[in-house]
Structure 1
Amino acid sequence: MPADPALVARLRAAGSVFAEEEADLLTAAAPSPAALTTLVDRRVAGEPLEQVLGWTAFYGLRVRVEPGVFVPRRRTELLAREAVAVSRPGAVVVDLCCGSGAVGLAVATHVPGVELHAADVDPVAVRCARRNLRGRGQVHHGDLFEALPARLRGHVDVLVANGPYVPTDAIALMPPEARDHEPATALDGGPDGLAVLRRVVAGAPRWLAPGGRVLVECADRQTVAITAAVRDAGLAPRLVHDDAVGAVVAVGVAADAASP
């Protein structure tokens, strides 16, 4: 049944590019006409559709997204895909700056038997990630590596981080639904966007197992700088691109204990 034309018109007037699709999703999510009005009011006010619906599709999964939590982007599926590709049953996998826990959930779903740990500095994100990862892994609250159990030091096989990488001056240029409704800690990467990712890469060698990998999402314009950071940390750098969605993942590989 086609969505209510008046609802479609209201969403389109509010700036929705995909008004028909959004109207269908909002209608399906609302248990009553009054609830639909509330959802539409939130969307028209600029709240991200995913937060209004309470979920988003990511890497073939439905991931819970609560108000105030960073919304997983489609381009981050490259990070998930690369993490899945290098994970094995029994591997220790850490998802730093986990937000909703989407990347960790993708790994735990597609590679059964991993030992998954996720962490975020934002308590709202931690609460959301715990709901998404219930029964799949442990979620810790704290700043990067400080949040992790000490016993993981030197034993992490795969370390992923979808940390903030937007330069501070560029935050004001972001769409209002991101700028106004997602936490600054998930967006603001400092003067050149790499303040947090440099900390992740620099700290990774102390936590990685021999042959372990750190994978971080970044922007194409940041690849030279992040590659230098990976190399400075004593890791072997590699870049993975997905031009279809404009995604870049920087990988750093620790030396294998068996290597000379």
Structure 2
Amino acid sequence: MENRKHHGVKGGGPKRKFHKPAPKVNPEDFVFGIQSVLELLRSEKDIEKILVHKDSNHEDIETLARQRRVFIQRVPSERLNRITGKNHQGVIAFVSSVNYALLSNVVAEAYEKGKTPLILILDRITDVRNFGAISRTAEACGVDALVIPTRGAAQINSDAMKTSSGALSFIPVCKENDLTLAIEGLQNSGFRVIGCTEKTSDVYSAHELNGPLAIVMGSEEDGISESILRKCDMLGSIPMLGKVGSLNVSVAAGVMLYEVIRQRGEAES
């Protein structure tokens, strides 16, 4: 009898314990110094996050960051010094390469255009190259928006832009403080939500994916979080016929998206 394993995705292959070298940071992706960061906060540019020295007190920066809902992370001086050897004054801000969109606006616009909306939710995808590759496939498949969490997501920097082959210049990205609330909002707007996970025996292609749909892809380490799994209307696994236990998350996202295209194409024919 054929042995069919049904798995979702956890990022691609067995885990290996080793220390990865700190990734190089492109100088174009950040600004440093108190005045430079203050000016950035006063501008209309979107900011990924701000790193401040754990013992410092930058009240003006923290006040503006809270007003703009920018995540602040307190870190030791070694972390800041690894990013730049220049006088950072205990504060570094990472600039987003895209301008974030409001999910409600994206959904409303899709409905107004008479489209059947398709949203891709990325639950803690942290690898920049995975994120870029997913963005490229999503744009090619006509996805209306990518949704990422405020914390625990890949930084949208020059590497992400490069890996996406420019797709991030065309597909809206929405940043949400709480993905479970974002999913509830989509469901209230007529969406069904499917989670791609190994924690089900249901094959992804057995579900009807024709209507307004949101697909959830989980993190490279542990897949979709339990709280988000419980919010999904349906779960789908990708059959694995070989000895490898999971697919890379960018490949799995492509499998899911092209199944939506296949089903919607058949529905229109």
Larger RCO: 1 or 2 (CA < 8 Å, sep 6+): 2
More helix by proportion, 1 or 2?
Answer: 1
Same fold (TM over 0.5): no
Q: TM-score, normalised by structure 2?
A: 0.34
Q: TM-score, normalised by structure 1?
A: 0.35
